[in-house]
Structure 1
C-alpha cells in the first residue's frame, strides 16, 4: 500500500495542470428506479451496507458484442458494429452503475476535468472498491481515497464503476439468461465511457486505474480513448487472456468447466431461471470459486496455512463435515452461473497487445512477480509495448492479491546503505541493462552514490553530488543530555529495529517528528520559527526551501497530508526518516578503519560537488559537533582528494540552501 500511495501521488501530480477550474456540484445522479429491476435475482451491490451510495444510468440502444475498429471510433460510439441491443431482446436499455465522490472542477463548457476513474475487479463492484480504497480494509492496508489521501477528494472527482455483466450493471441474471449478448472488455469500457461523458459530463480524467480485471479494463481505456486521461495505473491486470496467455486462459477455462459440470446445469442446459435459487447450479459455481482460490494465492502461502483455514475453500460434491467447502458454498449463493460464465468468456478472445502503441497517457504498471493468474512475464512484455511506461513490481505471499495488501506497513525499516545500493544496482544494471552511467545524488542520495561508486566502480562514469552526506565522520556514542551518553550508532542495530528504537527513542526524535503540526511543518520547511506564546514569526537558520516553487509546495503538502492520513503510513514514514540518520552515520564512524569516508580517495572518476552557501544540515553538528561547512567538510575533503590525484570540481551557490535544484534551478 505504501508503494501504491506513492505512485498514485506521482501520477496525479503530473495530471494536476488540467484542473484549474472552480469546483462545482456534480450533476443529478439519474433515476435509479427506472433502471433497476424490481426483484433482481442477484444483488445490485456486493456490499449491501453501501448500496445507498450507488447510482444508476441507462445507455439506450447500446450495441453489445459487436466489432470495435479502433481506427474508426465514430462507428462504435454506441457500442460495437453488429452488436445486439438489450431493447431488441425485449429488455430495457443497458444499465450502468457507479459511486461518485469528491470535488468536481469544470472547464468553460461545464465539463469535469479532474476525474479519477476506478474500475472494479473480476467479481467486485463499486461498493467493493469503496470499502477497499475509501474506507480501507486489512486487504487494502488502509484508505487510499479521501480528504488529504493519495487520491485526494478535495482535489479530485472520483468515480468508481461497476462493470457490465455483474452487480448493478446490466447482466444475464436480470432476466435474459443465456440470451444476453456475449460482451467483451471493450463493451465494459465503452458503456461506462458513455455514462461518464453523457451523464456526469466528464471531459477528462486525471487518472484511470483499477486492480485485477479493473486493471485489465484500465489498459482498454488507454487504447480506446487515448486522449481522455492524463495517467493510467493498471494494478495486476493483463493485456491478453486468450491462448497467448496459456496459464490464465487455462485457469478460467477450468472455472467455467467446473460451473458447467454441475448436474443442474447439465439437466437444464443452463436454462434454470424458472427454478428457485436453491435449485440453480450453485454447486458448480462453488466448484469454480474453489479452482480460483487454489491458484489465486501463492502455493507456499497456501501450504503453510492450517487445514482448518484451507478446507472451507475446498469444494466437495459430498462435504464430509459442515466446515468442508463452507466458504465457497456460501460465496456461490451471491453469484449466478451464467453471469460468471459470460464474464469468463469475455476474456477468452481478449488480446490488445497489437494496440498498446495507441496509449498516450503516462502509464505506471504495477504487478506481483509471483502472480499465478496473470503471470509476471506477460506484464513485462506489456511494459515494453506501452510507450514510456514505468514498472513497479514485487513478490507477495498472497500472490495475485498482493498489490492490494499492506505493502511496507508491516515491514521493518531496518536496512543498511549498502543494501540500498544493491537494490539500485539490481534495477539499473541488471534489470534496465544500463551498464555504465553518471550518477547524481542529493543529500542522503549523495552518500548513497558515493558508496555505490566504491562498490560498483565499473558501473559509474562520474558523480554529481548535490549537498551530499558522506563527507564527514562521527563518533559512535553521542551525548544527548548533561551526563547522558547513548550508543546511537551501534552496528548491531542495522537489522534490529526494536533495539534501535529502544535506544533512539531516548532522544525523543521519533516522538517529536510524529507530533509535528501542519503549522510547524510549514514553518520549518520554509525557514521560519514561530513563538509558541505570541505567535510572532522570525526567520530560521534551518529549513528546506528558501524559495516558493511547485516542488516545494508538493513536498510540504505531502508531509502535512500525512497528519490526517493513515496513521500507520505516518508512523512508517517517521520510522524510515529517523532510521535513515542511523543508516548514514553508521557507515561514517571515526573508529572504523574502513569507513566510507576513509575510502573516498579510492574513487577515480570525475566528481562535481555542489553546496548552497546557506546549507543548514551539513555538517551534522548534533552528532559530531562540527559547525563550519567550508573548513570542516569541503576543504578537508578537497585536500584529501587532491593529494590522491583525484578530479573534483566544487561550486557554491549563493542564497541557496539544501535543495539547490529547487532554490536555484
Structure 2
C-alpha cells in the first residue's frame, strides 16, 4: 500500500466525525466532517496567522479517487449537500458517484467552521483573497488529507472562480476542471460594482462601528436582500414568481424576516476577497480538460459580453455549456440545481477518465 494512502486513512480516521444530519435520506454515503490545523499560514499581504483551522466535509472512501467541490460566497461545504445538487450527483450511477469517488467539500478560509474574523481579531483579521483561499485548500488537501492528485475540481460561483485558479496554480494535479457560474476575467463591471456597494453599505453604517459592533448592523440584512435580488434569481423566474405587486412584496417581506445567521465582518471579508480576482493572465498554464458551465440569465456573468468565449480560446481543451434561460432557471443561482447539467457532466467525466 502506498504511503500516501496510509497517511490519508490515518488523517481521515483521526479527524472526522459522522454528520448524520447531513446524510438525511440521500442515496450516497454518510457525510463526515473534520478539521485540519495549519500551524502557520501566510497571507498574500505578508501577514501570518498561527493555528489556522480548515474545516471540511467528506463523502465516500478516502482511498478512492478524490473530487474537490468548492462552494459559493457566504456558503459552506455542507451547503452543497442538497437534494438538488448532491442528491443528483453523488448517488450510485450519478456523475460524481460517492461509492467510486472520495468527495471533499471544504469550508473556505474565513467561512463556516474554518478560521474566520468573527472567531479571532474581528476587523483586524488579515484581508485574505481568493489566491489565499486556494492555497489554504491545497494545504488542507495535500498536508491534511495526504491527497496529491484530484480526479476533478468543481466549484460554484466563488468556488468556480477558485477552480480557474486551481487549474493555473497546480496544473498537473487534476484530471479535469469544472468551473460553474463564473468566468476567469478580472472582477469588474456590474459584478464588482454590486459587491463594492454591498461592502460600502455596511461599512458606512454607523452601527458597524469599524467592525466593533455588539449587535449586527441592520444594513447587513438590507444590503444582503438588495444584493441577492439584484444579482441572482433570474429575470424570467422573478416574473413568474412575482407577477403582481403583492407577490413581489411578499418575497421581499420574507427575505427581510428571515433569521440573520451571518456575521457582518465575516460577510465583508468574503465579498472583499474577490476584489483582486483575475485568472485571465494565467489561462495558458491550465493543462486539464475544462468544462465551464454557466447559465444564460446569470446576472453576474452575462454571456452577451463575450468574455468567456474569448477566454476559452486560450485553452487547449475547453468548452462552455450554457444553460438557456427560462422561468425554471434562477439566474446566477441556476447551477445550484444539477438537473440542468448532470447528464453533460456525466459525459465529461467519461471523456476525461484515465486508465
**Distance of 1:27 and 1:308 partners within structure 2:** 57
Contact 2:191 2:300 in 1 (8 A): yes
SS at match of 2:88: coil
Unpaired segments of 5 or more residues in structure 2? 24-30, 342-346
Question: Which residue is 1:343 aligned to?
Answer: 270
Q: Report the alpha carbon displacement of residue 24 of structure 1 after superposing the two structures with TM.
A: 10
Please give the alpha-carbon distance, in whole angstroms, between the structure 2 residues aligned to 1:65 and 1:311: 43
Shift of 1:381: 2.8
Aligned with residue 290 of structure 2, among 335, 339, 363: 363
TM-score under structure 2 length normalisation: 0.82
Return 5+ residue gaps in structure 1 as ranges: 1-20, 34-46, 67-82, 88-92, 106-111, 315-323, 410-550, 556-665
Contact 2:225 2:256 in 1 (8 A): yes
Preserved CA contact (<8 Å) 1:254 1:291: no
**Is residue 2:316 matched to residue 1:387?**
yes
Verify: 1:291 aligned to 2:236, yes or no.
no
**Change over 3 Å in CA distance of 1:408–1:162 after alignment to 2:** closer
Distance change >3 Å, CA 170–CA 25, structure 1 → 2: closer
Q: Deviations over 1:498-538 (max 9, x none)?
A: xxxxxxxxxxxxxxxxxxxxxxxxxxxxxxxxxxxxxxxxx
Q: 1:134-193 deviations in whole A, cap 9, x for unaligned?
A: xx23xx494201333211222211111111111111110102111100001111111111
- Residue 344 of structure 2 aligns with which residue? none
Give the structure with higher Rg (CA): 1
> Cα distance 1:23–1:183, how it changes in 2: closer, same or farther (>3 A)?
closer
Cα RMSD of the aligned pairs, angstroms, is 2.9
Cα contact 1:258–1:288 (8 A) shared by 2: yes
Query: How far apart, in 1, do the equivalents of 2:61 and 2:128 lie?
Result: 33
Say whether the 8 Å CA contact 2:89–2:96 is kept in structure 1.
Answer: yes
Aligned equivalents of 1:310 and 1:122: distance in 2?
25
Residue 104 in 1 paired to residue 62 in 2? yes
Q: Quick one: structure 1 residues 204 and 309, their matched pair in 2 at CA, closer, same or farther if it must change by over 3 Å?
A: farther
1:86 aligns with 2:49: yes
The aligned residue for residue 37 of structure 2 is 58
Give 1:313 shift. Answer: 4.9
Q: Give me the whole-angstrom Cα distance separating, in 1, the residues matched to 2:15 and 2:338.
A: 38
Is 1:236 aligned to residue 171 of structure 2?
Answer: no
Structure 1 Cα separation of the partners of residues 221 and 110 of structure 2 = 19
Q: Do the aligned residues in 2 keep the contact of 1:25 with 1:103 (CA within 8 Å)?
A: no
Aligned residues: 324
Normalized against structure 1, the TM-score is what?
0.45
Query: What residue number does 1:95 align with?
Result: 53
Partner Cα separation in structure 2 for residue 22 and residue 141 of structure 1: 25
| Deviation sequence 1:238-280 (CA, Å, 0-9, x none) | 22343xx211111111211222243411xx22211xx2xxx22
Given that 2:80 and 2:86 are in contact with CA atoms closer than 8 Å, whether structure 1 keeps it comes out as: no
Larger relative contact order (CA 8 Å, sep ≥ 6): 2
Q: From the superposition, tell whether residues 394 and 292 of structure 1 become closer, same or farther in structure 2 (CA, over 3 Å).
A: same
1:583-625 Cα offsets, whole Å, 9 max, x none, are: xxxxxxxxxxxxxxxxxxxxxxxxxxxxxxxxxxxxxxxxxxx
5 Å matches for 1:174-213?
Answer: 174-213=119-158
Task: Report the CA distance shift for 1:101/1:25 in structure 2 as closer, same or farther (over 3 A).
Answer: farther
SS in 2 for 1:256: helix
